[in-house]
């Protein structure tokens, strides 16, 4: 047996509200991007291995759910996102251990105390770890120019305890690196944020285009 995939053609879309028809059309295009074959193959193989599952006419119905979420960011992250709109990196500083949290947190897990002091940070930091990615959002295409994704630790956000060989760092931000060849990237490399033009910022992490080396 083989699985069959139902597609939405113009005749099914006719008469539907434009937004809904557009959604179904996109869903159909998504199915055409290669998942259809893998679905079909997986279902067929599964049915061959387990005879009880050999249904005579199984129809695979691919379906995309379009969820829109709305959530409260809370005070600390809310201030951080507001800051991004203005091209500012906002963090919180623990009055106990002195660490700066970026993105900001309202509690210090080392000192067990509330953190209420907001500080503006230069945004300069170092590459804590990184990965050179040759695969983007479409896993079937190799990127001609790889993306470098890195975790950034900001200056003043870590506490080194030499006697215990521990480095405590206050989170960090995962972002892209730019203006640098993948082969030049090193752990510990100093970087700074490069901002999207002000009128295009929306209070999102992508208001920072990427982090670039401090030259
Ligand atoms: Zn602390």
Q: Express each pLDDT in 141-199 by its tens digit.
A: 889 899 999 999 998 887 766 676 666 666 789 999 999 999 999 999 999 999 999 99
Compute, in angstroms, the gap from residue 79 CA to the centroid of ligand 1. Answer: 20
Q: Where are the beta strands (DSSP E) in 136-204?
A: 142-154, 158-161, 166-169, 173-177, 190-195
Q: From 62, 57, 53, select the one nearest 2 (Cα to Cα).
A: 57
Burial string for 58-67 (b: 16+ CB within 10 Å, else e) reads eebeeeeeee
The better pLDDT of the pair 56, 134 is held by 134
Compute, in angstroms, the gap from residue 123 CA to the centroid of ligand 1. Answer: 20
Compute, in angstroms, the gap from residue 169 CA to the centroid of ligand 1. Answer: 11
Compute, in angstroms, the gap from residue 103 CA to the centroid of ligand 1. Answer: 15
The answer to whether residues 31 and 60 touch, using CB atoms and an 8 Å cutoff, is: no
Residue 164 DSSP one-character state: G
What are residue 194's DSSP bridge partners?
210
Q: Which two tokens stand for residue 158?
A: 């870590």
> Does the global pTM surpass 0.75?
no
Which residues are within 8 A (CB) of 149 and not within 5 positions of it... i.e. 6 or more apart?
130, 131, 133, 174, 175, 176, 177
Compute, in angstroms, the gap from residue 167 CA to the centroid of ligand 1. Answer: 14
Using a CB cutoff of 5 Å, list residues around ligand 1, an ion: 94, 96-97, 108, 110-111
Mean pLDDT of 21-44: 61
Compute, in angstroms, the gap from residue 40 CA to the centroid of ligand 1. Answer: 54
Confidence category of residue 29, pLDDT binned at 50, 70, 90: low
């Amino acid at each position: 047996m083989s699985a069959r995939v139902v597609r939405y053609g113009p005749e099914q879309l006719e008469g539907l509200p434009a937004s809904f028809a557009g959604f179904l059309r996109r869903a159909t295009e998504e199915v055409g991007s290669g998942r259809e074959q893998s679905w079909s193959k997986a279902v067929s193989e599964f049915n061959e291995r387990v005879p009880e599952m050999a249904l005579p006419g199984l129809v695979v119905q691919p379906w995309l759910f379009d969820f829109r979420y709305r959530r409260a960011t809370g005070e600390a992250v809310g201030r951080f996102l507001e800051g991004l709109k203005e091209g500012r990196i906002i963090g919180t500083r623990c009055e106990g251990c002195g660490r700066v949290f970026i993105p900001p947190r309202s509690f210090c897990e080392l000192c067990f105390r509330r953190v209420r002091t907001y500080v503006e940070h230069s945004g300069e930091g170092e590459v804590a770890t990184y990965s050179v990615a040759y695969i983007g959002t479409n896993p079937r295409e190799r990127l001609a120019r790889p993306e470098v994704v890195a975790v950034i630790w900001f200056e003043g956000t870590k506490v080194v305890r030499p006697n215990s060989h521990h480095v405590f760092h206050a989170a960090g931000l995962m972002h892209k690196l730019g203006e640098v060849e993948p082969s030049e990237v090193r752990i510990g490399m100093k970087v700074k944020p490069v901002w999207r033009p002000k009128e295009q910022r929306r209070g999102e992490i992508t208001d920072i285009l990427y982090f670039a080396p401090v030259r």
